[in-house]
Each structure stands twice: as C-alpha cells, then as structure tokens.
Homo-oligomer: A and B are copies of this chain.
Amino acid sequence: MSGRAPLRLAMVGGGPGSFIGPVHRMAAELDGRIRLTAGVFSRDPAKNAQAAADWGVAPDRVYPDHHAMIAAERGRDDGVDLVSVVTPNHLHFDVAAAALKGGLHVISDKPATLNLAQARDLAEIVAASGKRYGLTYTYTGYPMVREAREIVARGDLGAVRKVVVEYSQGWLSRPLEREDNKQASWRSDPSQSGVGGCIGDIGVHAFNIAEFITGRRVERLCADVAAVVPGRDLDDDCNVLLRFEGGARGVLIASQISAGARNGLRISVYGETGGLTWGHEDPNVLNLDWLDGPSQVLHAGSAYLGVGARAVTRLPTGHPEGFIEAFANIYRDFADAILGQGDGRLVPDIAEGVRGMAFVERAVAASRADAGWVFLAAHRVEPGGIMQEGEGR
C-alpha cells in the first residue's frame, strides 16, 4: 500500500446473533484497506445501535433500512464507497440492486440471489451500473486454492480428467429448525433460502471451487438431491455426477447430515500425469501426487509458490491463516480492484452468481423429475451478456 486512506464500507445485516456478519466485518477491516463506517445491522433499533457501538460506527451513520442509508450516504462528501450484503438469501437481490443503482459497489454473501431469475436480473443491473459486484465464495480466497488453480492452468497435471469434490457437514443431522435454531431455521425455509437447502448453502461452494480450480465449466449433471431428515422441506444431502467441458468427469457430494463431519470441504483434481488435493480443515497445505515421482506438499507462505498464492499470505510459512483471512483476501482483492490496484479477476462476480443459481435449480429440478443426465448450460455465462442455456436431455 502507499499511504492511502481506507475505503468506507456500509454493511446491511449481520447484527447481534449473526454468524457471518462479524466475519464480514473482521475480514473487511483486517488489512486496513476498508473501514466499516455505516450500516443497517438489524431491524431491531436496539440491536442496530449496539452493533454500531461495538464496531465503532458513529451513531449518525446507523440507518433503519438500506434505502435510507443509500440516500443519506450519497449526500455526504465522506459517504461510503461500497456496501456488503449480509442478510438471509431472500433479501440479497433488493439490497444489491438498490446499492448498485445508488452508485455503490456491492460485495454480497452467497448465493447471489434467491433464484436464477433474480440472478439474471442482477447481472443486467450490474452491467448497467458500471460498479463492481463481488460474491464471497470464501474458499476461493485461500492461498492454496489459488495455487491449485495456477497449477491446473499451467498444465502441470496435464489435461484434467477427473474431479472429486466433497463438502460434508453433520450439523443438520437433527431437525434443529424445529428447535429454535436461527441458523437452521432460515436455511430450511424455502421462502428465505430458495429451492435449495444443503445444495444452495454448501453445494454451491463445492460447485464453485470445482470450476474455480479447474478453470472448466460443468456442462452436464446427474443429481440425487434429497431431504433425509423426516419432515424437512429442503434437501439436506446431495450427490451429483458431473461432466465438465472438455470431457472431464466429476463427482460432487454435499451433505449436512453426515453426522460427525464438521466443515469438510475437500477437492481432488486428477490430470493425465498427477493429481492435487486440498481440504479445508488443513487449508495451508496443498497435496500433489504424481504418476512418476514423489508426492509433494506445498505449504502456504513459501517462496516457491506462485504469485497468486504469495499475494494473499500475510505470515511466514508455518504460521496458520484460516477462514477469516481467506474471507479477507476476497475483500482485499475487491478493494484493490476498486482502487485500481488490481484487476479483481479472482473475485467471484455475478457470472459466478448466475452459475451457482443455475446449478441449484437445475440439480433440484432434475433430481425431482428423476431426469438422469441434464445439461447445465451450453454456453459460457458472461457478466452482463446474453446467457443461453442448453436444453435438458
């Protein structure tokens, strides 16, 4: 950096009781590029004020709703530069659209919107706005995930042949949504979460990281999406066979009823001459196995890593960085792009948001219809452009 004052951030959502709100705040401020300056943290005025005080936000910059906030901040010389959207899914579209139209950059928690139609609409709004839109697919912020992407792109593994990605959690093994658990409740409620339960909550992460690391789009899928816990409205377990452009095969497993699993995102990518494996519970290493030589273990913070991984590591090797730092890397890249200090091309954008929503809707529908293999999309999705999808079988 070069002595420039931090960008000013407003947050919508994330007040007392939220898991992801404090993560956004810590991540946004970690590197000194962004300072939380305004916000609508809760509909409850007391909670709204408390969050502001806790986080050092001046009382006159705490607002009752996002419309009021956008209007007021636009009128200030020192108004905010960007808005982070940290609400439940069903509010993502409204807040993001209003902020973009109000001339603010937007960084949103995933998924982009409640459904695919909204995502497409938002893509057009982003394109029209001239502002930046970023999506916090956290796992793409890990240095060793970026290293994995570089390794594949460089062709070190040869052509990609197979991808196995698994994201297993166990915390919804019991019907917590009927036990007054806020996190479980909205995730199990179609009106707040959309048509996807587990697949929308964590399956999209698995989908996104598979496309991110391989640099290849999924073209077809064959899905088994189910609600295992009796009485649950949305899926809590999904297993999906994949076919990538270029022919690679894949398997995507996501579950919230894998009892005992914590947050086990894990991906293996196999090419012609070697394979790589990264797992979230030991995120600072990347394992490489070769057809013809010793296995390798790459450690975050090492001088031998590629420029991408080195750019997002704060500490010397052997000093673990974790989830908050990965999250912060996305904020940092986003801030740098706004400041013109980077191209921001690694920040997941609205095209990724559309992809995610398409994946969720397509897999859920195909599984319900027992449709076997279906196309996901015949053509690439480009930000703001016309999107065409292939037809199902």
A319-B139 Cα distance, complex, nearest whole Å: 11
- In the complex, identify which listed stretch (A128-136, A275-283, A350-358, A378-386) lies at the interface while the others stay far away: A275-283
Q: Kindly identify which residue among B32, B249, B260, B319 contacts A274, using a CB–CB cutoff of 8 Å.
A: B260
A 6-29 binary contact with B (CB < 8 Å = 1; else 0)? 100000000000010011011001
B55 touches A258 (CB 8 A): no
Does B260 contact A289, Cβ atoms closer than 8 Å? yes
Mark out the residues of chain A between 159 and 176 whose CB falls within 8 Å of any chain B CB in the assembled complex: 161-162, 164, 166, 168-171, 173-174
Chain B residues with CB below 8 A from A297, complex form: 294-297
- In the complex the two chains form, is B260's CB within 8 Å of A270's CB? yes
Which chain B positions have C-beta within 8 A of A259?
157-158, 161, 270-275, 289-291
A219 sits at the interface (CB 8 A)? no
* Interface size of A as a range: 35 or more
* A292 part of interface (Cβ distance < 8 Å): yes
Residue in B284, B291, B370 whose beta carbon sits within 8 Å of that of A173 in the complex: B291
Q: Verify A299–B293 contact, CB threshold 8 A.
A: no
CA distance A262 to B318 in the complex (A): 5
**Smallest CB separation, A20 vs chain B (Å):** 10
Which residues on B sit within 8 Å (CB–CB) of A319? 263, 322-323
Say whether A146 faces chain B, with CB atoms less than 8 Å apart: no
Q: Tell me which residues across on chain B come within 8 A of A387, comparing CB atoms.
A: none
Q: Which of A46-54, A64-72, A187-195, A203-211 contacts B (4 or more CB under 8 A)?
A: A46-54
What are 12 A-B residue pairs whose CB atoms fall within 8 Å in the complex? A19-B315, A162-B237, A168-B268, A168-B270, A259-B289, A260-B274, A260-B290, A294-B297, A294-B298, A319-B322, A320-B323, A324-B325
The 10 A-B residue pairs whose C-beta atoms are closest, nearest first, are: A263-B318, A260-B289, A262-B318, A3-B53, A320-B322, A372-B372, A260-B275, A295-B297, A322-B322, A319-B323
List residues of A whose CB falls within 8 A of some B CB: 1-6, 19, 22-23, 25-26, 29-32, 35, 49-50, 52-56, 157-158, 161-162, 164, 166, 168-171, 173-174, 222, 224, 226, 228, 237, 239, 241, 249-251, 253, 255, 257-264, 268, 270-275, 280-284, 288-299, 301-304, 314-325, 370-373
